[in-house]
Amino acid sequence: MESDELLIQPSSAEPIYRQIAQQLRRLIASGRLSPGEEIPSVRDVAGSHAINPMTVSRAYGQLEAEGLLERRRGKGMVVATQRGRAQSTDRRLQQLQPQLDELARQARELGLSAESVLERLRVLLEADQ
């Protein structure tokens, strides 16, 4: 994985450390980052996005505490071998819950039917495959 694959939006209401942690959680949950795989160093991520290295460390520290990442001597951080395998559909859906709540709220405000929103969503999801 390259550090510029992370998407960082400094002006988002979500703190940068959480943006990083969430993206890595999703990549690990889906299995796109496999157990033992090295993730970019704090310096690489901070340098390529011009963000504070402490912010990156905080995200990595949190994932390490959750058991998703491990510190390897001489290698930096890698995806944990124990829990790094893909998680159940339920667990992965759980991670999308805040975004789904927000989508549902906005759809209701706009008076959109469930069918029309789901149809758009399906097109988006399938277009990416």
Partner 1 sequence: MNAVSAPETIDPQESAVICRNIHKRFGGRKVLDDVSLSIPKGAVLGLIGSNGAGKTTLMRILVGLLMPESGSAMLLGEPALQMTDASKTRLGYVPQQPDALNWMTVESMLQFVGSFYPRWDSEYMWNCLMRWNIPPSQGLAKLSPGERQRVALIRVLASCPELLILDEPASALDPVARRDFLREIALRAGEAGMTVLFSTHIVSDLERVASHVCFLHEGRLLLDTAMDDLKETHARLSLSREAAVGLSKPLPGEIARRRRPDGGVSIVLTRRGLAPWPSAATASGGTLEAMNLEDLFIEITDQPGAAWFLK
Instruction: Quickly list DSSP for 31-42.
Output: TSS-TT-B---H
Contact 39, 24 (CB under 8 A): yes
Q: State the nearest-atom distance from the C-beta of 24 to partner 1, in Å.
A: 16
Per-residue mark of binding to partner 1, 15-34 (x: CB under 8 A):
xxxx----------------
Report the alpha-carbon distance of residue 78 to residue 84 in Å, rounded. 10
Both structure tokens of 67: 């058991």
Q: Confirm if 80 and 38 have CB atoms less than 8 A apart.
A: no
What mask, x for binding partner 1 by CB under 8 A, covers residues 51 to 90? xxxxx-xx--------------------------------
Q: Tokens for 56, please give them.
A: 């990156």
Size of the site for partner 1 (CB under 8 A): 23
**Based on CB atoms, which residue is closest to partner 1, 43 or 120?**
43
List residues binding partner 1 (CB under 8 A): 10-18, 42-43, 46-47, 49-55, 57-58, 105
